[in-house]
Amino acid sequence: MAAEKKQAAIPPRYDLDAKWDACLDLTIRRFFYSSLAGAFSGLLLFRSPTTRWASVAFGAGVGIGTAYTECSYIFDGSPPKLSPKVSAVPSGSTQEEKK
């Protein structure tokens, strides 16, 4: 019962144990599935063992990279909002049309 009260007392935003568990789970899953996808695509596309292992390594790197990005979002908060930069200055084509 004491553990349940302790868990209820920590807001999810500050619960580092849950964040580390989520990141570890995410990293292992993405590493495994990306390596598996790299191995499968290497078997389909390449004949040389060196290029097959390179495709496995590439898949593992993609998995680790995406897991790192997602974990940084988990620890730092929401991802930054990307908004298109719209210029307030009209382009040259619209100025020519007005003439």
DSSP 50-91: HHHHHHHHHHHHHHHHHHHHHHHHHHH-SPPPP-----SSPP
> What confidence category does residue 4 fall into, taking pLDDT thresholds of 50, 70 and 90?
low
pLDDT at 24 over 80: yes
Q: Measured between alpha carbons, how far is 78 from 72 in angstroms, rounded to an integer?
A: 9
> What confidence category does residue 56 fall into, taking pLDDT thresholds of 50, 70 and 90?
very high
Residue 11: predicted pLDDT: 73
Q: Provide the 3-class DSSP secondary structure of residue 43.
A: helix
Amino acid at 23: C
Q: Measured between alpha carbons, how far is 80 from 9 in angstroms, rounded to an integer?
A: 29
Average pLDDT for 34-41: 96
Residue 63: predicted pLDDT: 96
Whole-number mean pLDDT of the chain? 81
